[in-house]
Structure 1
Amino acid sequence: MDIKLVRDNARERMKGFCAICKECNGVWCAGQVPGMGGTGSGETFKRNHEKLKDVKVVLRTLHSVKEPKLDCELFGEKLSFPAMVAPITGAKFNMGGYVTDEEYSEDIVLGAVDAGTIAMIGDTGDHNCYDSGIKYLKMTGGKGIAIIKPRENSEIIDRIRKAEEAGAIAVGVDVDGAGLITMKLFGQPVGPKSLEDLKELVNSTNLPFIVKGILSPDEARLCVEAGAAAIVVSNHGGRCLNETLSAIEVLEDIVKEVGDEIIVLADGSVREGVDILKYLALGAKAVLVGRPIIWGSVGGRREGVQTVLEGLKTQLFQSMILTGTADVNKVDISRIRKV
């Protein structure tokens, strides 16, 4: 299976939900939430794409970097390259229903392991989605991370216990899901978390706790104060609030504020391996990949997910050689320019 076959299959199977555009810029799918697009006019989704494109890498070919180091370690787990599968659910109402949520969970958890990395399983209004993810985490001995919607703390803690029983590497809450339309449609309240709420959640488990959906240095500082192990700089793919900043715009400032005290991850419009290098150069330790993984599952199931991840890894390897970058753990800002 190759990436062209995966994308061609996905395009046919996701008609009306995703056109698998040559340039995935959020234009075709604008406003499709539920669905694959950005909320409102889709400007935040579009901005994620545009601002990432405004970061360019600096070509370097006079050096000795021929076999760059791609592997890294996060939460005690060795990864073949610094990319993980983002937490996504709602196969029926977001992706068109070619795969079920259980099949999607199977594909991402097992496909990620096949590629030498891990997946984050997600949570939504349909309880079966989270339970499906937990099922496949158990199957792999816990090779993955459970990310939970910002529900009432008692409900989150119940889900943390399930993740613990499955042997999950880490747990977390995607606080940027506080205004998700899909949760409202299921009649399940979600909302912001106070510092005290966050401290309660962090202290409820011995697992590393991740806060996903941070876009400002001051909230990153609150996560450090709460004792979180990591944050994900993210605006939820532009699917919650229109007219927000993109992760790539605020990442450097957040890393300057807390990067020595907490693990900083990031996501937003990662489509090629060179995009990973951009995020690393701005201080992220790893990235989350979303939309291409959906294409992988729909277009080729478990093997399709592995194919997508292996393709990103190969592209990152090439990008590192052509920028003189020797180690993913030591990428500095001189590798890029903002235009």
Structure 2
Amino acid sequence: MKDVRTTARERMKGFCRVCPVCNGKACAGEVPGMGGLGTGSSFTANVEALADYKLRMRLIHSITTPNPTTEVLGVDLAIPVIAAPIGGVSFNMGGKVTEDEYIAGKLKACVANGIIGCTGDGVPPFIHEAGFAAIKEVNGKGIPFIKPWEDAELYAKLDKAAETGCKIFGMDIDAAGLITLAKMGRPVSPKSPAKLKEIIGRVPGKFILKGIMCVDDAKAAVDVGASAIVVSNHGGRVLDHTPGTAHVLFDIAQAVGKDITVLVDGGVRTGADVLKMVALGADAVLIGRPFSIATVGGLEEGASKYIQQLQGELLAAMVLTGCKSLADATPEILVDVLGQ
């Protein structure tokens, strides 16, 4: 991974510094780019919120080979990790690898290592086109995310996504605030419950709604028929001054966790972070920027090395907290340093 990160730093020069800790401080306000919007506080809040939870170490037990596997939306996962939908290597990541190389490498690495990856959407069209082609290349084992466009474009892309053979579809409704798209004359917008029901009714598979940051929206997602939600503030790239996702996850999972699959992203960097999010109520996590860095730095091999690193870190954290399986990852393994 050291070599992968070194290569990524060279390829992403001027777009991402590949910091030792990806916390959003050095790249605050760099949108387009890899940073967070405005002050960058929403990006940094994701990392800081996870840091507010510490793992309670337990070693008097007989667990030596924990089981980190799970099943999400009918997909078996070797670890509870999904590669998040990030695209646009040409203007966000330096363009030293092509969109096709990037997204195909990421999805192939996910399949090879027993997890699943998502593809992104945006402007120009090669972002979603490369994503759809990559999903076809891995026999439908990918999740296309479509932005909340107006009807004609939205439905056309959902139809094209269905042709990839995928069984799960996503909408990053949190992209409704992307100023970059508005500046390109391609507005995106929030969706009413009635519109979401209409959209979900047209999808030939399961539907994930990404961008849920409050209990009310989580309950609304259940009501409109979504199969899963992603607790997400879009990596801090759409609204400044939001809380970190780890701080809102528990209440959301408590409210709807029995009714819908709960996923989360935001600030997850290590296997220990994955375990924290599971303990707070997530069924699995999405990881964005670190996957992009690993893929740009080493394509399929780089992304594979990152997945393997996550798995090793997760297994170690499970042993050291006394978790035989993910079902044992409950809030009791956490210490909340804020005392909340």
Q: TM-score, normalised by structure 1?
A: 0.97
1:259 aligns with 2:257: yes
Q: For residue 214 of structure 2, what is the aligned residue in structure 1? A: 216
1:181 aligns with 2:179: yes
Unaligned regions of 5+ residues in structure 2, if any?
none
Q: For residue 123 of structure 1, what is the aligned residue in structure 2? A: 121
Q: Distance in 2 between matches of 1:224 and 1:90?
A: 31
Structure 1 stretch displaced more, 86-95 or 16-25: 16-25
Conserved? CA contact 1:160–1:205, under 8 Å: yes
1:96 to 94, 97, 103: 94
**Post-superposition shift, 1:154?**
3.2
Structure 1 stretch displaced more, 30-39 or 6-15: 6-15
1:314 to 312, 324, 332: 312
1:74 aligns with 2:72: yes
Q: Distance in 2 between matches of 1:240 and 1:162?
A: 26
Conserved? CA contact 2:48–2:244, under 8 Å: no
**Post-superposition shift, 1:330?**
4.1
Q: Distance in 2 between matches of 1:22 and 1:172?
A: 31
Structure 1 stretch displaced more, 327-336 or 311-320: 327-336
Q: Distance in 2 between matches of 1:83 and 1:56?
A: 20
Q: For residue 41 of structure 1, what is the aligned residue in structure 2? A: 39
Q: Distance in 2 between matches of 1:115 and 1:82?
A: 12
Q: For residue 285 of structure 1, what is the aligned residue in structure 2? A: 283
**Post-superposition shift, 1:128?**
1.2
Q: For residue 22 of structure 1, what is the aligned residue in structure 2? A: 20
Q: Distance in 1 between matches of 2:196 and 2:22?
A: 34
Conserved? CA contact 2:119–2:144, under 8 Å: yes
Aligned structure 1 segments of 4 or more residues deviating by more than 4 angstroms: none
Q: For residue 83 of structure 2, what is the aligned residue in structure 1? A: 85
1:225 aligns with 2:223: yes
Q: For residue 166 of structure 2, what is the aligned residue in structure 1? A: 168
Q: Distance in 1 between matches of 2:314 and 2:263?
A: 17
Q: Distance in 2 between matches of 1:87 and 1:99?
A: 17
Conserved? CA contact 1:69–1:328, under 8 Å: yes
Residue by residue, what CA displacement relative to the aligned partner does 1:99-132 show, whole Å, maximum 9, x if unpaired?
1211111111111111111101110111111111
Aligned-residue CA RMSD in angstroms?
1.0
SS in structure 2 at match of 1:178: helix
Conserved? CA contact 2:162–2:204, under 8 Å: no
Q: Distance in 2 between matches of 1:235 and 1:333?
A: 22
Number of residue pairs aligned between Structure 1 and Structure 2 = 337
Residue by residue, what CA displacement relative to the aligned partner does 1:239-285 show, whole Å, maximum 9, x if unpaired?
01000111101100001110000000000111110000000000000
Conserved? CA contact 2:140–2:165, under 8 Å: yes
Q: Distance in 2 between matches of 1:185 and 1:136?
A: 28
Aligned AA for 1:223?
A
User: Percent sequence identity over matched residues?
Assistant: 45
SS in structure 1 at match of 2:101: helix
Q: Aligned ranges for residues 43-58 of structure 1 at < 5 Å?
A: 43-58=41-56
Q: Distance in 2 between matches of 1:181 and 1:197?
A: 22
Residue by residue, what CA displacement relative to the aligned partner does 1:283-304 show, whole Å, maximum 9, x if unpaired?
0000001111111111111110
Unaligned regions of 5+ residues in structure 1, if any?
none
Conserved? CA contact 1:67–1:326, under 8 Å: yes
SS in structure 1 at match of 2:285: strand
Conserved? CA contact 1:125–1:182, under 8 Å: no
**Post-superposition shift, 1:181?**
2.2
Q: Distance in 2 between matches of 1:159 and 1:66?
A: 47
Q: TM-score, normalised by structure 2?
A: 0.97
Conserved? CA contact 2:88–2:127, under 8 Å: yes
**Post-superposition shift, 1:206?**
2.9
Q: Distance in 1 between matches of 2:328 and 2:225?
A: 25
Q: Distance in 2 between matches of 1:132 and 1:232?
A: 23
